[in-house]
Chains A and B, each alone.
Chain A
Amino acid sequence: MDFGAINPVVLIASLMVASTPILLAAIGELVVEKSGVLNLGVEGMMITGAICGFAIAVETGSPALGFLAAMLGGAVLSLVFGVLTQVLMSNQVATGLALTLFGLGLSALIGQGYVGIKPPATDRLDLGPLSEIPVLGRILFSHDLIVYLSLALVAGVWAFLRYTRAGLILRAVGENHDAAHALGYHVVRIRLAAIAFGGACAGLGGAYLSLVRVPQWTEGMTAGAGWIALAIVVFASWRAGRVLLGAYLFGGVAVLQLNLQAAGLAVPVELLSASPYLVTILVLVIMSADRGRAAVAAPASLGRVFHAST
């Protein structure tokens, strides 16, 4: 065994990269669920974003355009779900599952001509002297724009939900859609906007996988990241800060176990591979152990069909 090969600085820097796709998808889903909608199609939206971003980046040579296309692709796909569940009032669970299957199939179809191609590289953000700082510079100031954008999104979502009137209305719609309707808020419109935001975030997360983290296109490459994002939202008790913690924990353990496998730790590989899932769920379950408060955090109208009967 050779633990000396594991460099903690590189480890932390790479865990941020590894966590970003899940963090993006989870923070988007947080907003969707806070508005009272359960969209189980995160996995499908992520992989659709992954292929949309990959294809456009390859065709145009610009990763930035690729990321934009990924957000658009994720948002368009999520609006299919939005129209079905909000306007046509279909069942959210069944529609979300269908969206995942649809997204996986659609991305495989689009991606047929893109297997084995290398995408244009995404530049690191040039922060000049900041990235020269020893240790801190490597950990904090040597990433690409999307990593910083994902962190800004977490802070933005937190502040939006806590301090703005629009955020209050969004929470109110998720808490009791009948009351929000009685007060004259447009429940369906607000939810559609939240669903589109969630789709764009998931799409961006997927593109980060195919353009930066891997970077290439393979069928089914999200490999369950969308489901992990969904689980993190629930176990984080619908709080932005805890979503960040959950995503980084998952990414961190995932990177660490790869390093441990490389170092030849005498633990079965299967157990190591499962460890990110186990550790993340365990930690978040313990944190949300106060069941009363956790139940308060859950949006009370989550997953319920809204019908303006008046």
Chain B
Amino acid sequence: MTSLLTVEGLTKAYPGVVANDRVSFDIAEGEVHALLGENGAGKSTLVKMIYGLVQPDAGRMTLRGAPYAPPEPSAARAAGVAMVFQHFSLFDALDVAENIALGMETPPPMRRLAARIREVSETYGLPLNPDRLVGDLSAGERQRVEIIRCLLQDPRLLIMDEPTSVLTPQEVDILFATLRKLAAEGTAILYISHKLEEIRTLCDRATILRLGKVVDSCNPREKTAAELAEMMVGAKLTAPARGGGTPGDVVLEVSGLSLPSSTPFGTSLRDISFTVRAGEILGIGGVAGNGQDELLAALSGEAQVAPDAVNLKGQPIGALGPSPRRRIAVLAAPEERLGHAAAPDMSLTENALLTAAIREGLAARGFLKWPAARAFAEKVIEAFDVRTPGPGNAARSLSGGNLQKFVIGREVLQRPEVLVVNQPTWGVDASAAASIRQALLDLAQSGTAVIVISQDLDELMEISDRFAALNEGRLSPPRPAQGLTLEEIGLMMGGAHDMEVAHVAE
């Protein structure tokens, strides 16, 4: 196979960090090439340079034998490079055809474009209605818009940045069939993911980045997922240990919980019912945007619902706000670290005060007890191995993994009866993720009812006792997690929706 894109010595430095340090690798025509690495390893910077969004400080690229240095994305598109973004590239208030036209260099008139969208989307088994508003689409359908936008330009190289993070297992299968068909037609695919099993099934070759440097390359089919993970992290990983124990009495009971969406493109919760027992972890999976944020809001008290929709040990608490719920030990850690779970520009001490003032007695008669607050913040830092110079540092200055350990630890140390967490390890490095999962398991072991909302199915299978899935604001009946197959989980998450396998017509 001939080389399509060669990257030699690419370097890009930002103030204080070298994002890419002399990165070299090459991609052959028709090859599916994986780019592996933890968050912060420099994968995004690298593909942004290939797509012309960022200019390298040093190094050069060659595309089909000719020097290649795109000054902006339109030049990259003209050279046959297309990119599917992880996020940030669709416009909610515009329709599908308009979104696609924006990603093309010379789009045909709207009516012809709509016809082309229908035609291409049917060929690849990704049906799309060009007239619908993107804001009304499901996460899986939005992904299709991005992919169709790329396919309409007949790319030679397709870059995909974490494309499966929002898909059900069935949708992933169909996406892979589409990608294999594309590769068979000669298109090279640069595939970024941290889902190791997916890379093992799909990719021909893998380049591994760590701290901005290429540390290894391999054929992922010849490695185990554990070996790949160790190559990424550069250290041995220990899987969380779960203690056997029988759950106690029902602590939290949710029955008939409904909550209309507060924003035009949000999801309404519909008739959600479940129970959680003391010492049990209930895992709630589902594709992003199916009501996860709304469910967390209803359980934490940010959104108030009918009083008897949420019951703590038989007492109705649905109409209580966050502070009264904290007082009775119902705690929550939301998804967005910077801005929702923590105030970015406030110190760790102040952030500790914000949720722990009531339960830890950090305020009296409206005045703050600074020494006690600092001591509590230090306790969290110590117990959860948060790497920071001290509790006076701003939350924003911590890395994602360290701040997440602080945010979870802050709630865990308040001895909750019920703890609800949303995406506890999203964007967190592997070792921090492992210690957060261990902390949640230990918390359940000590008798707390834990609800983990996450889109990472591997994580949910690893720690939860029972599993349920959110789909369009409805919750499937919870089932014991042990023995569930990926197939069954996918169906609980809504299956393949209306996708179909690509018509591979050779």
Contacts and interface: CB of A to CB of B under 8 A. Distances in A.
Interface of A: 165, 168-169, 171-172, 175-176, 178-180, 182-185, 292-293, 295-297, 299-300, 310
Contacts of B52: 184
B263 A182 contact: no
A191 to B, nearest CB: 16
A175 B89 contact: no
A53 to B, nearest CB: 36
A175 B73 contact: no
B367 interface: no
A184 to B, nearest CB: 3
Contacts of B101: 165, 168
Given A165-B107, A183-B102, A184-B52, A172 B91 contact: yes
Nearest to B149: A183
A295 B264 contact: yes
Contacts of B74: 184
B90 interface: yes
Contacts of A184: 52-53, 72-74, 77
Interface in B464-503: none
Contacts of A180: 91, 102
Given A176-B91, A178-B88, 11 more contacts: A168-B94, A168-B101, A171-B93, A171-B94, A175-B92, A180-B91, A180-B102, A182-B89, A183-B103, A295-B264, A296-B133
B68 interface: no
B48 interface: yes
A151 B5 CA distance: 54
B426 interface: no
A183 B89 contact: yes
Interface residues of B, number: 25
Given A172-B102, A295-B263, A296-B135, A182 B53 contact: yes
The 5 A-B residue pairs whose C-beta atoms are closest, nearest first, are A184-B73, A175-B91, A179-B89, A178-B88, A295-B264
A183 B54 CA distance: 12
Nearest to A301: B91
A152 B93 CA distance: 27
B350 interface: no
17 contacts: A168-B98, A172-B102, A175-B93, A178-B88, A179-B90, A183-B73, A183-B102, A183-B103, A184-B72, A184-B77, A185-B102, A292-B264, A293-B264, A296-B93, A296-B133, A300-B92, A310-B48
Interface of B: 48, 52-54, 72-74, 77, 85, 88-94, 98, 101-103, 107, 133, 135, 263-264
Contacts of B263: 295
A105 B98 CA distance: 44
Nearest to A171: B94
A176 B91 CA distance: 6
A299 B90 CA distance: 14
B72 A182 contact: no
A290 to B, nearest CB: 10
B135 A176 contact: no
Contacts of A183: 73, 89, 102-103
A292 B102 CA distance: 25
Contact of A179 (B72, B91, B98): B91
Given A168-B102, A182-B85, A183-B73, A176 B90 contact: yes
Contacts of A293: 264
B72 A300 contact: no
A183 B100 CA distance: 11
A169 B91 contact: no
Contacts of A296: 92-93, 133, 135, 264
Nearest to B110: A163
Nearest to B83: A182
Contacts of A171: 91, 93-94
By CB atoms of chain B within 10 A, which of A169, A179, A292 has the most? A179
A310 B20 CA distance: 13
Contacts of A176: 88, 90-92
A179 B85 CA distance: 9
B54 A310 contact: yes
B155 to A, nearest CB: 15
Nearest to A179: B89
A297 to B, nearest CB: 7
Contacts of A172: 91, 94, 98, 102
A182 B159 CA distance: 14
Nearest to A295: B264
A180 B88 CA distance: 8
Given A168-B101, A310-B53, A310-B54, A175 B264 contact: no
A175 B134 CA distance: 12
By CB atoms of chain B within 10 A, which of A172, A184, A293, A300 has the most? A184
By CB atoms of chain A within 10 A, which of B102, B107, B133 has the most? B102
A180 B52 CA distance: 14
A168 B94 CA distance: 9
A44 B54 CA distance: 39
A231 to B, nearest CB: 22
Contacts of B88: 176, 178-179, 182
A169 B93 contact: no
A112 to B, nearest CB: 46
A183 B102 CA distance: 8
Nearest to B54: A310
A293 B133 CA distance: 12
Nearest to B74: A184
A180 B54 CA distance: 15
Contacts of B53: 182, 184, 310
Contacts of B98: 168, 172
A171 B85 CA distance: 20
B345 to A, nearest CB: 15
A169 B104 CA distance: 12
A305 to B, nearest CB: 15
A300 B52 CA distance: 26
Nearest to B103: A183
A295 B52 CA distance: 34
Contacts of B54: 310
A157 B53 CA distance: 31
A31 B52 CA distance: 29
B347 to A, nearest CB: 24
A176 B94 CA distance: 10
Nearest to A169: B102
A237 to B, nearest CB: 12
Nearest to B263: A295
Nearest to A309: B14
B167 to A, nearest CB: 20
Nearest to B88: A178
By CB atoms of chain A within 10 A, which of B54, B93, B264 has the most? B93
A178 B92 CA distance: 13
Nearest to B71: A184
Nearest to B90: A179
B56 to A, nearest CB: 13
B161 to A, nearest CB: 10
A282 to B, nearest CB: 24
Contacts of A297: 93
A79 to B, nearest CB: 24
Contacts of A175: 91-94
Contacts of A169: 102
A168 B93 CA distance: 11
